[in-house]
Amino acid sequence: MPDGNVIVLLKDVVAGYQTTGRGWRSLFKHVNVVLRGVNLRVYDGERVAIIGESGSGKTTLLKVVLGLLKPVKGSVEVLGKDIYKLPWRERVNVLKQVGYVPQDPYKALNPKLRVRTILSEPLESAKAKPEEVEGRVREVAKMVQLSDKILDKYPGELSGGMMQRVLIARSIIHDPEILILDEPTSALDVSIQAQIIELINNIHKKLELAILTVTHDLGVAQYLSDRAVILYKGGVIEEGYIDDIITRPKHEYTNLLIASYKASI
């Protein structure tokens, strides 16, 4: 297990979505449980992958970590603070240290804003000075290989790969402690996927931040993580170093994931 500070810590997290029945049953509320006693640690500078198929609970876990879904049971600590016990404003301040790259760049960017504005807005909201905003935007744009010409374009004028670079740039604009990636290559052409993976790993080395990748793809996990957690039906069934999991899986479900991955390459 890695040493250092724990950036994200989940303890016995149970989470789900509130539903109601029909007719007289609508008088009673019920929680449809998705995560079932999940424990997770992400250390400073570490790369971790959450791997599972659709319906395994990956999206729910993301919402819990991002402060969007309060668990029914258990605790969620980010940078040493239990975020669901904090007042809203304090929670927001803590979560500013969490960069997030959503799954679909085509839906995540405002089509009416130029790229420069998309990157500037988070800094302007934090009351940064205009010269500081411009300097930081240029610095981050260079880090993800966006030219000045690209900064003046609208998202609809960009390729999927360029839009993903914009999302990554926006996620690190506040110099976060951890970067969370939701299926970072699933919306991209195969020819672009390797470039984005290389970019993410370069950012990891340069900024020395932690990275939590959520994916169904073992190949992506192998390139973007050192350690992996296998999620199945809302529970963690296996975890360890990614190479050990791939070469010596302990759970039958992990075996099935590996077989599916090998059949696809």
- 37-80 pLDDT per residue, tens: 999 999 999 999 999 998 899 999 999 999 999 999 999 999 99
| 231 pLDDT more than 60 | yes
**What mean pLDDT do residues 92-104 have?**
93
Angstrom distance (rounded) from CA 232 to CA 243: 19
| 22 pLDDT more than 70 | no
Comparison of pLDDT for 114 and 130, the residue scoring more: 114
Question: 24: pLDDT confidence band, cut at 50, 70 and 90?
Answer: very low
Residue 201 lies in a domain: no
Residue 82 lies in a domain: no
- The whole-chain average pLDDT of the chain stands at 91
* pTM, entire model: 0.91
Domain extent at residue 166: 105-173
Q: Into how many domains does the chain fold?
A: 1
**What mean pLDDT do residues 123-148 have?**
90
| 132 pLDDT more than 80 | yes
Residue 113 lies in a domain: yes
Q: What is the pLDDT of residue 125?
A: 83
| 1 pLDDT more than 70 | no
Residue 138 lies in a domain: yes
Residue 22 lies in a domain: no
| 98 pLDDT more than 50 | yes
Q: What is the pLDDT of residue 2?
A: 63
Residue 246 lies in a domain: no
Lowest mean pLDDT among 16-25, 109-118, 231-240: 16-25
Residue 42 lies in a domain: no
Comparison of pLDDT for 21 and 113, the residue scoring more: 113
Residue 178 lies in a domain: no
